[in-house]
Amino acid sequence: MKTRLNKFLSECGIGSRRKVEKFIKEGRIEVNNKIAMEFSVTVDPETDVVKFDGEVLRREKKVYYLLYKPKGFITSLKDEKNRRLVTELVKTNHRIFPVGRLDYNTTGVLILTNDGEFSNYFLHPSNRIVREYVVSLDKPLEEKDRNKLISGIFLDGKKSIFLDLKYLKKSQRIVKATTNEGRNHFVKRMFQQLEYKVVELERIRFGPFDLRGLKIGEYRIIPETEIRKIANM
């Protein structure tokens, strides 16, 4: 049965739907020894030969890992500066990629998989997947500013909010921030708008997944039963 090229590529575990479309634009995908430049191309996985950077692709068994990301690793598949990659922390024979990003020195929940469809669902803004962070600030968060961040401030030209902000320490320098936003550096930029600097950041929950049972740098396999519980998956 024929399937769209971008869907097939994501099922082969080389990236999310958006990522593989970038690979197509870059001319890195071949179908039957011809470069494919159109997303609308369809392929038959049983008879067509599809290559990525010259390597033949095949659909893989879907795997899912939950990593407690430490500092000093980047959420990418390669790095010009030769920094360590989060994929180095997970022992697997599958070609996996991170679902979304955490900054180099941000710690916490990170999902790695070879399932592009799952990644696309989890990251799509319309699905409003909730994230929770423990945020350490350079100075106490004033109550009036906490209220502003919950009621809404303008970021990237649109009103943006935290769903909740709770003080975790009497000093009011450490807070738990809850959001369903996935924009780059969203948490840091929200606080920067009110002249606070985030000095430490840890994501403690991403959708239904949290850090329970894991030490920093450790990971666990997420069974398919957990994946199936997520709406529309």
Question: Does 79 qualify as catalytic in the annotation?
Answer: no
Continuous H helices in the chain? 5-11, 17-25, 116-123, 143-151, 186-193, 224-228
Q: State how beta strands 107-113 and 198-206 pair.
A: parallel
Q: How many CB atoms lie within 10 A of CB 73?
A: 24
* End-to-end alpha carbon distance in the chain: 21
Q: How many residues does the chain have?
A: 233
* Catalytic residue (choose from 48, 103, 145, 210): 103
Instruction: Kindly tell me the burial class for residue 151, based on how many C-beta atoms sit within 10 Å of its own C-beta (0-12, 13-18, 19 or more).
Output: exposed
Catalytic residues: 103
